[in-house]
Amino acid sequence: MVEIRALKESDRGHLRALELFCIREYLEASMNKNWDNLPQDLMDQLGASSKGSFDHYLDKGLCYVAVEDGQIVGFAFSQMIEHVNNVAKVLWIESMAVHPDHRRKGIGYKLLKKLSTEAKKKGAKAVQSIIMPDLVSSVMLHKKLGFFMDGRKVAFLDLDSMQ
């Protein structure tokens, strides 16, 4: 039986391993990127469980893990942001995944539902979630909960490298 519970400090190591495992799976399958060729400093920065992000999410985020037989098998990192697209309080989901051995058992759905329910209790009016449009599982999961997708994509500018 899977338990969905709030993120805690002691999850750090297992969560890092699981998130990196899922990022690697995505990069190798979708972008033909060879994981072993990625520079270590880039790898260290990937994901919401990275050193620079975990503490912030633990402290200020709305984050849950799915635990089965004492093992973390899924996770979701999100945080509340103020006023986007004319909506005063929006939950923004940065990262979620379920270990491949535990997929299609309803865990992703439970995580996303939990985030949305807790965000609503805290006054959020909407949820925005970063998804990979080429990942059918991710798109279908969000659709099952009632998310809609228009043509928008997120554009990102690294201000440290801006001329």
Ligand X SMILES: CC(C)(COP(=O)(O)OP(=O)(O)OC[C@H]1O[C@@H](n2cnc3c(N)ncnc32)[C@H](O)[C@@H]1OP(=O)(O)O)[C@@H](O)C(=O)NCCC(=O)NCCS
Q: Which of 32, 46, 65 is nearest to 134 (CA)?
A: 32
Residue 65 binds ligand X, judged by CB under 6 A: no
Sign for the CA dihedral angle at 12, 13, 16, 19 comes to negative
Residues numbered 107-146 forming contacts with ligand X, rule: CB under 6 A: 107-109, 129-132, 135-138, 140-141, 144
Q: Which of 111, 26, 21 is nearest to 64 (CA)?
A: 111
Our CB check for ligand X shows the closer of 78 and 124 to be 78
Residue 2 binds ligand X, judged by CB under 6 A: no
Beta strand 3-6 with 126-129: parallel, antiparallel or unpaired? unpaired
Residue from 14, 24, 33, 103 in contact with ligand X (CB under 6 A): 103
Our CB check for ligand X shows the closer of 66 and 124 to be 66
Residue 4 binds ligand X, judged by CB under 6 A: no
DSSP H or E run through 75: strand 71-84
Binding site for ligand X (CB under 6 A): 22, 96-98, 103-109, 129-132, 135-138, 140-141, 144
